[in-house]
Amino acid sequence: MLEFQGGSHPAFELLFARYRGPLYGFFRRRLKGDQRAEDLTQETFVAVIRASARYEPRALVRTYLYSIAMNLLAAERRKQFRDSPPGELAREPVTTEAPDAALWIRQALEKLDDSEREILMLREYEQLSYAEIAELMKLPVNTVRSRLFRSRMALKGHLEPERKRAEAAATSGVAQSVKLTRAEGEAI
């Protein structure tokens, strides 16, 4: 980033190549539509270009980029909320193309409070350290640790009924199969 600030175009190309995918994933997991995620990824790098003269190396470049991304995401959510019809909140669509486990996790994540979901996604999906999350969210590191723990427990609480339901369905499927096999054997 310092090299780019000094005028090196290859340095910016390296930043773009390294962080484009992770930032796209950050937006894609939080927004509807691939195109909007791509647009916000581009806007993040445009913001980096515009603010390059003011950049100060107080944090990791990754933290700096994610802070820009979080600001753009907040603005996007405000825009979606403002533009959505009254009484209808814009939610991430549920896709039926993902395996059951991925659907359960996605649905359980949607049930979490916004702050719980965000801190969990920053840690698990974006692989940010506690210190990076603390800096992004402007919280003490120990607060990040405790909130992350509570978020994981809440997620587990939302996933537990689904796991039990799946196990029950699998057990009843085996029992039904055994009954059919017995009936077939008796019929012969």
Domains and CATH numbers, the chain: 1-93 (1.10.1740.10), 97-188 (1.10.10.10)
Q: What is the pTM of this model?
A: 0.63
Residue 88 has pLDDT above 80, yes or no: no
Instruction: Name residue 34's amino acid.
Output: D
C-alpha closest to that of 73 among 109, 107, 26, 110: 26
CA distance 147 to 152: 9
Note the pLDDT of residue 166.
Answer: 65
Tokens, residue 122: 């920053």
The rounded percent of the chain whose pLDDT value lies above 70 is 76
CA distance 50 to 165: 52
pLDDT, tens digit (0-9, with 9 covering 90-100), for 5-58? 888 889 999 999 999 999 999 999 888 778 899 999 999 999 999 988 888 888
Indicate the pLDDT class of residue 180, thresholds 50, 70 and 90: low
Is there a contact between 4 and 52 (Cβ–Cβ < 8 Å)? Answer: yes
Place of tokens 């979080």: 70
Q: Out of 73-87, 89-103, 142-156, which region has the weakest mean confidence (pLDDT)?
A: 89-103
Q: Angle 81-41-15 (CA atoms, 0-180°, nearest 5)?
A: 150
| Residue 76, CB-side half-sphere exposure with 13 Å CA sphere | 22
